[in-house]
Structure 1
């Protein structure tokens, strides 16, 4: 868009670019900069326009974009152009992801490169390698307390190892996803060390106060993230003689994005890793990046403006890269991280569907789908050119963040219902064989979250120990059922490493002092590759899960109705134990799949008339894509066995 003020400033900035920048071939860069500059200028001015150095900071921003464009490998520049020409490429049903810790999955990055054929065997073609950057020993928060944003931690490898991973992935059309932690640094980061040494420039990178007056005002409205291990949101630094904002842990110092230098530094970090081959960047803790007194300091409008600015800037330098918003927030807030455009994601193209994850665990515990239906009906629609990341399990805890109004709509009392779920999955509820553990129990509120591996939470660990074959079969069905939902629901399904071979809880973390106080390590396993070989042996639990997921992934990739174009319709079966929805090909709406999931441990029935009402079975017979057979029917009713599913199509 042409606008005189921004156009004039752009001309001046281009004239002021360093000669070593102007001398480069910047044709595509200039085209994209011109197309995006009005938005970039508007956002940057809104956030930082009151500063005397505004114009100098704008020049610094454009120089950062140009420098990273110059350093971008030619192969990645070509990929940018391909993806610009096919802008809906990431909405395809072809993508299936896996998240993993490189150390837990294969010892290090070199091991991940060696295991690339494993991803192909399963059908995974998007791999999220969780934090690999330098962190202090013992105070790493699982890799999210970064002490050097440009240095890979030598415990997992080198930059050359990552480049090998990127190369192996690109040969096989596997997307590489890496983390950038936006909200904070380690207190051992060079910026923090220089702040402690007294450099005002770097003290301005953080929130620092001489006394408790302002921190106490913040605390009046800010919640505690880790009340057990890190109560409060500020930490006293003896050397500085100041209070430092530390929302997560006392060793994680929150960055001050009201300082444009911080924004430019972190944008430069994002572009650096995109240039190392990251197709997708997971932006950690995006909900927290703007602080405002009198609020909970989450989901502020300025946080969204910062993300819009980051996206517009990346569109100039590396338009082929995608952003994932790691915003585990209230359902009504989640879709805002796609952006406010009616169609195009102007912040992040991908967001974690934490609501679906929590609702699935609720349905599994209650054997009832009422809250699942209600919660999904209340979840706002995503943008057309954005997509969900759907997952059963991740490296983090299971937070029960569904909306209290939805809970009341289905006649549960919110606090009591959450306590039931925590008790159920930690094995405290009668007849529950789940073996999870609580995470961050808050004695003030009675709240807690849940930790544990998928296989242990569904009861497989207990069932195997007791040798109860019926319980083993039901637990295996539950694992497959949960994945059938994320593969078919719409979005990119994300497996969590180890779940594909039914890995149990890892209790060894209790013997490690730096991990023992964080129960999430119970589900951050070290893969036993000898056990993983059992995936090739029929009759083992590993084979049962691996082969089922492999088959579902293959069917998903062949089923155009599973692409993500807002092509889903919930179906009310009137059976509270059964969840159902229709997926259809947005180009050929008559080509549809009816998904039916039984969350009960008992067989369930649906009147065939319900299928007719949904438009199925009127003009032809239905069959199950997964089994290749017609579904079981009796007395004009469809029968679904315990914890099983159908993907029904017509022929």
Structure 2
């Protein structure tokens, strides 16, 4: 089978984007190499991807080496674990970086084209693909200092001399946005003995790629095409906001970064229509949603980074006003885009997305309250020399808890928070530590030496299965409650990501959300975000409470502390 025919407008769009980014620096030879690679990939992809999204789409976030066994590699074990525990619950699996890596639990990639041999191989990924849809990380901003590409640069091999960003350390870089309290430039010695200072946004082991070099773009498009060939339905662009650097600017959200994302999108649309591009930008809300572009040319989804800390703020203050006010402002540029919603992830709960929504004093109060309950905090340096809390490191179970809580109290708040997640417009994603009811892993922090380890625990497969099977345990109860909620959500068109959404507070502690599908199905969700019983009037008489399984006969509804209801209009 030869290459599928190009739509002329697709080729023109890619060419125009190349012109806008590179002008004459992207030569005819570069273009020929790029389009040859695209043609080859188009000819090899035979499986059609789902077009768009619906209420059945719920994503499980996990590491490839999440579970261990003495006789099998982790990916093979995960396939078995998924088949037993998660296949009936989730539609997609987001496999966090599974390539060979040297630090940051996979986000310092040594070789984009291989599966880490200690985890498994591409056959294991293919086996998982037969059970579910897949989401891959495209770690596009940086790569490992232990990689072959970087070694080629250090050895001054032809073709690699511009792969990374050299910078005179005397350059004024004070305007650069810093996500970490670490040096921006790191010195390295080349084979001829000369020292070069290279751009390292995240750590000295994560060397930023130089997209101003056309060879870098070709190499990274080759990675993208490989992931499409291996079956990725969703592509997550990690730390993508930092991708283009221009000294004298903030070096985040630059115009050419947006153009590169549009280029990745155009290539994915040409090669594997239906592939969803998701941008990961842990930044204030206004900047985050800019990655949706005009609604048809950039990201299909953006991570809804403001949701996790706003839910925590609501629970801890027992006041949903700020959450409601923010949610009322949510707008999308088109029905070809939506939100990627989550509460917990492999990273901490980001605080930058709260800025501009909550006063700084409220953010600091939330940080202080969570620290008192055992959470850890990462900090960032500001251009004026001060520092600010950047993220809270904690499992979401413990983020919602007080240290003296009973399991019943923990689970009530945990259930309420996840019901909010599942009710919001967009595609929801649930971190594996959450559905397994995990608590803070302080031993992991001590062993590994960084705060994010608190929510990245790996498990012996037999031991965790035993715990999940232990009736009445916190893990078992969390798994069953959350699984039941997800399955229930997936059965109702009112929860389609694009269905109509309205939100209001009946009082500061009671949130009311209404979702209405195109076919008229309507579900009213009531959330008591407080530790006190609430009596409210809502127009839900004659409906049926899907969660608590009873008819609602009156306009007056009584909600127990932390209770949630999904009332379907009959």
Asked if 1:318 corresponds to 2:256, the answer is no
Residue from 184, 196, 219 that aligns with 2:154: 196
Call closer, same or farther: CA 1:371–1:197 in 2, change over 3 Å: same
The CA distance in 1 between the partners of 2:563 and 2:512, in whole Å, is: 12
| 8 Å Cα contact 1:39/1:312 also seen in 2 | yes
Shift of 1:479: 0.8
Distance in 1 (CA, whole Å) between partners of 2:158 and 2:6 is 38
Decide which of 34, 38, 55 is 1:61's aligned counterpart.
34
Instruction: Establish whether residue 422 from structure 1 lines up as the match of residue 367 from structure 2.
Output: yes
Deviates more, 1:475-484 or 1:148-157: 148-157
Kindly report which structure 2 residues correspond to 1:87-486, keeping only aligned pairs within 5 A, or say none. Answer: 87-88=51-52, 90=53, 92-106=54-68, 108-120=74-86, 123-136=89-102, 140-167=103-130, 169=131, 174-199=132-157, 201-209=159-167, 211-213=168-170, 216-217=171-172, 219-227=173-181, 231-239=182-190, 240-341=194-295, 344=296, 346-381=297-332, 383-407=334-358, 414-427=359-372, 434-440=373-379, 444-459=386-401, 462-463=403-404, 471-486=406-421
How big is the shift at 1:566? 5.0
Q: 1:559 aligns with which of 480, 492, 506?
A: 492
TM-superposed CA distance for 1:638, in Å, is 2.1
1:457 to 1:163, Cα distance in 2 relative to 1, 3 A: same
From 525, 530, 540, the equivalent of 2:463 is 530
| Alignment check: 8 A CA contact 1:357 1:392 kept | yes
Match of 1:627 among 548, 551, 554: 548
Name which structure has the greater RCO, CA cutoff 8 Å, separation 6+: 2
Q: 1:458, CA displacement in angstroms?
A: 2.1
Q: Deviations over 1:10-52 (max 9, x none)?
A: xxxxxxxxxxxxxx522xx2234x241121111111111232x
Say whether 1:588 aligns with 2:519. Answer: yes
1:596 positional shift: 1.3
Describe the SS at the equivalent of 2:350. coil
1:473 Cα deviation after fit: 1.5
Q: Which runs of 5+ in 1 are unaligned?
A: 1-23, 408-413, 428-433
1:571–1:582: 8 Å Cα contact kept in structure 2?
A: no
In terms of mean alpha carbon deviation, does 543-552 or 477-486 score higher? 543-552
Say whether residues 1:45 and 2:11 are aligned partners.
Answer: no
Alignment CA distance shift 1:415-1:495 (3 Å)? same
- Whether contact under 8 Å (1:97, 1:124) holds in the other structure is yes
Structure 2 gaps, min length 5: none
Cα deviation 1:98-133 (Å, max 9, x = unaligned): 111122245611111122323446511211111111
Change in CA separation of 1:319 and 1:523 when aligned onto 2, cut-off 3 Å: same
Counterpart of 1:223 in 2: which secondary structure? Answer: coil
Task: Give the SS at the match of 1:447.
Answer: strand
Matched, 1:604 2:534: yes
Q: Is the 1:535–1:547 Cα contact (8 Å) retained in structure 2?
A: no
- Preserved contact between residue 379 and residue 388 of structure 2 (Cα < 8 Å): no
Equivalent pair of 2:179/2:380 in contact (CA under 8 Å): no
8 Å contact kept, 1:375–1:403: no
Cα contact 1:237–1:243 (8 A) shared by 2:
yes
- Quick one: distance in 1 between partners of 2:207 and 2:531? 47
Change (3 A) 1:501 1:195: closer
Q: C-alpha separation between the residues in 1 aligned to 2:442 and 2:505?
A: 41
Tell me the alpha carbon deviations over residues 218-268 of structure 1, each in whole angstroms, 9 at most, x when there is no partner.
Answer: x210132220xxx23111113341110001101111111122221121111
> Residue 508 of structure 1: CA displacement?
2.3
Q: Which residue of 1 aligns with 2:569?
A: 650
Other structure's SS at 2:527 match: strand
Could you say which structure has the higher helix fraction? 1
Task: Find the residue that maps to 2:105 and give its secondary structure.
Answer: helix
Residues 271, 119 of structure 1: alpha-carbon distance in 2 compared, 3 angstrom cutoff? farther
Distance 2:214 2:21 in 1: 8
CA positional deviation for 1:420 = 1.0
Give the conservation status (yes or no) of the 8 Å contact 1:535–1:542.
yes
Do 1:594 and 1:647's aligned partners in 2 also have CA atoms closer than 8 Å?
yes
CA contact (8 A) 2:328 2:502 kept: no
Q: Given the alignment of the two structures, is residue 569 of structure 1 paired with residue 508 of structure 2, yes or no? A: no
TM-score (norm 2): 0.93
Residue 448 (structure 1) shift: 4.3
Matched residues, number: 559
Larger-gyration structure (1/2): 1
**Structure 2 residue matching 1:551: 3-state secondary structure:** helix
